[in-house]
Structure formats: C-alpha cells, structure tokens
C-alpha cells in the first residue's frame, strides 16, 4: 500500500471509530443526536390558557387528545401531525424536525383559530426511538390568544 493509501485508510478508520464511539457515548448518556423513529400515535394531556369571545382568559384541562405523526409524503425531515380531541376538535400540523425538536404550523384547525405554532420536544429511549414529547402550543393572536403545554406518550 502506498504512503497516501495507508494514510487515507488510517484516517477513514479513525473517522469510523470516532463516529461509533460518539454514538455509543450518546446512547450510554441517554442522548441521541438524531431520532430514529418519531412516527406513530401518541396520547396527550395537559392544560391550556384560552381566550373567550369577551376577551377573558381561563385555564382549561386537556385530556384524551391523540396525535398521529407521519412523514410528509416524499419527505425526509418534514412531518404531518393529525390531531383529534374531545368535542370534535381536529387539527393538521406540518413542520420540520431538527435534532429532537419538531416545529410546526397549522395547515387546518376545526375551531378556525389561526395562526397556531407548535413545538414538540422529544424524549428518546436507548435506541434513539422517540418515547414521547412535551408539546407547546402558541396562538399569538391577541384577540384569540391560546397557550398550551401537553405531555404526550406512545
């Protein structure tokens, strides 16, 4: 093997070992740089502050919400979340995954309260598979302000 070939092989081997060591360290520490699987159904519960027609704000407990997450057709990092809840509530969110966080915007919501921005901060198991997330919901409209925090699990 020529000198250049030897060094190229040595550098490639060092890079492979470095990546494997980093992955093992991430798993051992319970941290994953990239989630391997977020798709599936999750059940959510939490609370929201909502604004009534008269402008008053109140705390509302949320339970029984179901989120179905799937990759957007043909995409690698864009996901669609179909959400159903009590009282016929339905919503579709679309957004991108970066690290452990999925940030979405509302494509459709049954209560017509736009805009809604959501953030899903995922937790993962030792195999970097999503086990659940905390969802933060924000509707920044001053007339129809909504802010929620929900815990969701598979």
Domain definitions of the chain by residue range: 40-153
Positions of E strands within 7-129: 40-51, 57-71, 78-84, 90-98, 101-109, 117-124
**What tens-digit pLDDT sequence spans the chain (154 residues)?**
555 554 444 444 444 444 443 444 344 345 788 888 999 999 999 999 999 889 999 999 999 999 999 999 999 999 999 999 988 989 999 999 999 999 999 999 887 777 889 999 999 999 999 999 999 999 888 888 899 999 999 9
Name the nearest CA neighbour of 81 among 71, 89, 73.
71
The three-class DSSP label of residue 137 is strand
Query: Largest alpha-carbon pair distance within the chain?
Result: 80
Q: Phi and psi of 2, rounded to 5°?
A: -70, 165
Q: Considering the domain 40-153 in this protein, what is its CATH number?
A: 2.40.128
Give the separation between CA 92 and CA 130, rounded to whole angstroms.
20
pTM: 0.77
Q: Six-digit token pair at 152?
A: 């969701």
């Amino acid at each position: 093997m020529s000198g250049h070939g030897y060094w190229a092989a040595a550098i490639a081997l060092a890079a492979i070992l470095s990546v494997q060591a980093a992955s093992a360290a991430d798993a051992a520490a319970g941290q994953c740089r990239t989630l391997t699987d977020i798709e599936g159904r999750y059940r959510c519960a939490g609370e929201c502050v909502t604004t009534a027609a008269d402008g008053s704000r109140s705390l509302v407990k949320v339970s029984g919400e179901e989120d179905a997450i799937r990759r957007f057709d043909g995409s690698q990092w864009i996901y669609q979340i179909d959400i159903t809840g009590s009282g016929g509530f339905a919503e579709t969110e679309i957004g991108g995954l970066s690290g452990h966080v999925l940030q979405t915007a509302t494509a459709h919501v049954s209560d017509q309260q736009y805009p809604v921005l959501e953030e899903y901060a995922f937790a993962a198991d030792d195999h970097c598979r999503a086990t659940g997330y905390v969802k933060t919901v924000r509707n920044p409209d001053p007339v129809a302000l909504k802010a929620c925090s929900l815990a969701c699990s598979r």
